[in-house]
């Protein structure tokens, strides 16, 4: 007797192959039969007539490292059919852990309510697994966490002995099951690292056949250096390269996208390389990211004090290499305040409107809001219109381009209810399918499903996951293409997607008809171990 049979569904298996009308039988957490099974005996049956049955979606780039500790239900993701997310991206991770002050800088969306007790990757993975976990988690180890553990927030190149200490920490994490290593070379302290440091760490990743996911050092005016460094790293070390959210951003010249794509084609035969794309023009980041390194090496109270000084503000405003060229070009109508603890009345407003409301320049409004955040300033978030649909589509034409949320798993209740990160937290999958399958026809539905199932599973090296095949793990999503929509809100704030009929994780039903069953079926996956 089977545990569950999904009958009459339009099965898309995750390989990119055409759909077939088939039944799928599940027992003991695995797919045990695929075919025409209408006469089979099962404890439970679900009629998927007219619905699509696919592998559970895999989000290859998330930042839920900390939010899952506060609420492991991962509701905003699983309600989109996501059954697995990859944490530890952009150099940011919970481990190695040195102090609470470091943690606030090394994760997104830190809020009070959880006191960390881990010191290393093993303890963190165990802590995450021992809590109710509603989604499968694939961990990467972040460069910023490793670097700050060894040398604090120093704005300088690491010494040879410091690099050796970082390599030992990364090796320990890989031994504990980390799937790879990530950098955020556009952020401090990652942007203080030289190539010798990154090459040395990638040598460790290569030894474990891990993945190197990089937020490159620059994607606008100096894009050639930014992307070129990533290619050189893979060429020098032989590491498997994943270029995170690879689309050039505002300020890059028109030829930037073509230049990057040409290089990817050029290196395609010699390097093990791929990339991923966020299906939104707007993108989030921390407000502190715009501050120069010499400020960021200080404590939050010291930063706040310095930002009250006009000369310091002027130096921030007139940086030669600003983090966002939107700010340099006074595009204040294209920058939103997205998350704040101390100034909630301004959430969702553009900085132009915030400045008008306060009767001050929008830049000064941004600085004043950072000061007001105090010790919470590293959790303040903004959203900018930093990409174009044209460039997103150009990257999606690449067969090795995956699709990601670059978000965090959130909820409309509990300890995460006040956090805003991006619309992708609640709607990245339906946005991708709606915009690039239904509206533009850029991809077929089968190819689109492949980009968020089979492709990332293979890229990560997940065992028997990502496809609908006999003996594979029963992570399955069933949805109505017509009804599968993200929230109509332009901000996507605390509004779940709709149209998901069934989500199965590890053989257990987690979502049924857009309602959460209360089941926690997720596990922490560990490379070389699971």
* CB neighbours of residue 340 within 10 Å: 23
CATH of 57-285+386-460, one of 3.20.20.140, 3.50.50.60, 1.10.10.10, 3.40.50.720: 3.20.20.140
**Among candidates 134, 148, 119, which has minimal Cα distance to 69?**
134
CATH of 4-55+466-516, one of 3.40.630.30, 2.30.40.10, 2.60.120.1140, 3.40.50.300: 2.30.40.10
Q: What's the confidence (pLDDT) of residue 100?
A: 80
Spell out the per-residue pLDDT of the chain, length 530, in tens.
899 999 999 999 999 999 999 999 999 999 999 999 878 888 999 999 999 999 999 999 999 999 999 999 999 999 999 999 999 999 999 999 888 888 888 888 777 767 788 888 999 999 999 999 999 999 999 999 999 999 999 999 999 999 999 999 999 999 999 999 999 999 999 999 999 999 999 999 999 999 999 999 999 999 999 999 999 999 999 999 999 999 999 999 999 999 999 999 999 889 999 999 999 999 989 999 999 999 999 999 999 999 999 999 999 999 988 889 999 999 999 999 988 989 999 988 999 999 999 999 999 999 999 999 998 899 899 999 999 999 999 999 999 999 999 999 999 888 988 888 888 999 999 999 999 999 999 999 999 999 999 999 999 999 999 999 999 999 999 999 999 988 765 444 678 999 999 999 999 999 999 999 999 999 999 997 76
Q: Please report, in angstroms and rounded to a whole number, the separation of the first and last CA atoms in the chain.
A: 27
**Among candidates 227, 164, 150, 236, which has minimal Cα distance to 192?**
150
Q: What's the confidence (pLDDT) of residue 119?
A: 84
Q: What's the confidence (pLDDT) of residue 466?
A: 98
The pair of three-digit structure tokens given for residue 156, joined into one six-digit string: 């300088």
Q: Which residues of 362-378 are buried (b: 16+ CB within 10 A; e: fewer)?
A: bbbbbbbbbbebeebbb
Contact indicator for 487, 501 with CB cutoff of 8 Å: no
Q: What's the confidence (pLDDT) of residue 489?
A: 56
Q: What's the confidence (pLDDT) of residue 421?
A: 83
Q: What's the confidence (pLDDT) of residue 493?
A: 61
Contact indicator for 415, 409 with CB cutoff of 8 Å: no
Domain residue ranges of the chain, discontinuous segments joined by +: 4-55+466-516, 57-285+386-460, 290-383
Residue 507: in which H helix or E strand, if any?
none
8-state DSSP, 332: G
Q: Which residues of 269-301 are buried (b: 16+ CB within 10 A; e: fewer)?
A: eebbbbbbbbbbbbbbbbbbbbbbeebbbeebe
């Amino acid at each position: 007797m089977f545990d569950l049979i999904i009958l009459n569904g339009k099965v898309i298996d995750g390989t990119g192959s055409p759909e077939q009308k088939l039944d799928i039988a599940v027992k003991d957490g695995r797919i045990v039969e695929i075919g025409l099974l209408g006469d089979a005996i099962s404890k439970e049956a679900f009629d998927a007539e007219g619905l699509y049955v696919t592998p559970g979606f895999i989000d290859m780039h998330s930042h839920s490292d900390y939010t899952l500790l506060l609420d492991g239900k991962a509701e905003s993701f699983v309600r989109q059919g996501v059954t697995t997310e990859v944490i530890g991206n952009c150099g940011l991770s919970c481990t190695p852990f040195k102090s609470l002050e470091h943690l606030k800088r090394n994760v997104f969306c830190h809020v009070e309510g959880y006191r960390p007790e881990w010191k290393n990757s093993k303890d963190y993975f165990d802590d995450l697994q021992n809590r109710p976990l509603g989604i499968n988690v694939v961990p990467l180890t972040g460069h910023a966490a490793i670097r700050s553990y060894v040398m604090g927030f120093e704005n300088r190149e690491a010494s040879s002995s410091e690099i050796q200490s970082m390599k030992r920490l990364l090796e320990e994490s890989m031994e504990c099951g980390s799937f790879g290593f990530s950098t955020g070379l556009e952020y401090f302290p990652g942007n203080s690292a030289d190539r010798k440091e990154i090459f040395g760490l990638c040598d460790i990743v290569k030894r474990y056949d891990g993945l190197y996911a990089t937020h490159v050092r620059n994607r606008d005016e100096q894009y050639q250096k930014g992307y070129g460094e990533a290619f050189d790293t893979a060429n020098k070390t032989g590491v498997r390269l994943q270029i995170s959210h690879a689309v050039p951003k505002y300020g890059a010249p028109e030829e930037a996208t073509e230049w990057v794509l040409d290089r990817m084609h050029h290196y395609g035969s010699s390097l093990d390389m791929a990339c991923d794309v966020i299906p939104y023009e707007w993108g989030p980041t921390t407000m502190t990211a715009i501050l120069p390194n010499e400020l960021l090496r200080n404590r939050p109270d010291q930063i706040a004090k310095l930002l009250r000084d006009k000369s310091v503000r002027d130096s921030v405003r007139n940086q030669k290499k600003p983090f966002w060229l939107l700010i340099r070009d006074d595009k204040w109508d294209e920058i939103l305040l997205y998350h704040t603890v101390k100034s909630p009345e301004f959430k969702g407003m553009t900085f132009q409107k915030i400045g008008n409301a306060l009767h001050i320049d929008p830049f000064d409004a941004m600085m004043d809001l950072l000061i007001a955040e105090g010790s919470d300033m590293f959790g303040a978030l903004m959203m900018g219109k930093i990409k174009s649909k044209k460039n997103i589509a150009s990257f999606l034409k690449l067969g090795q381009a995956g699709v990601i949320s670059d978000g965090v798993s959130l909820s409309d209740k509990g300890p995460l209810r006040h956090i805003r990160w991006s619309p992708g937290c609640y709607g990245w999958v339906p946005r991708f399918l709606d915009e690039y399958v239904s509206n533009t026809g850029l991809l077929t539905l089968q190819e689109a499903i492949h980009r968020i199932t089979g492709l990332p599973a293979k890229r990560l090296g997940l065992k028997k996951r990502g496809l609908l095949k006999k003996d594979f793990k029963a992570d399955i999503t069933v949805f109505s293409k017509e009804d599968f929509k993200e929230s109509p809100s332009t901000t996507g704030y605390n509004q779940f997607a709709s149209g998901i009929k069934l989500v199965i994780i590890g053989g257990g039903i987690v979502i049924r008809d857009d309602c959460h069953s209360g089941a926690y079926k997720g596990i922490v996956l560990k490379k070389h171990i699971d």
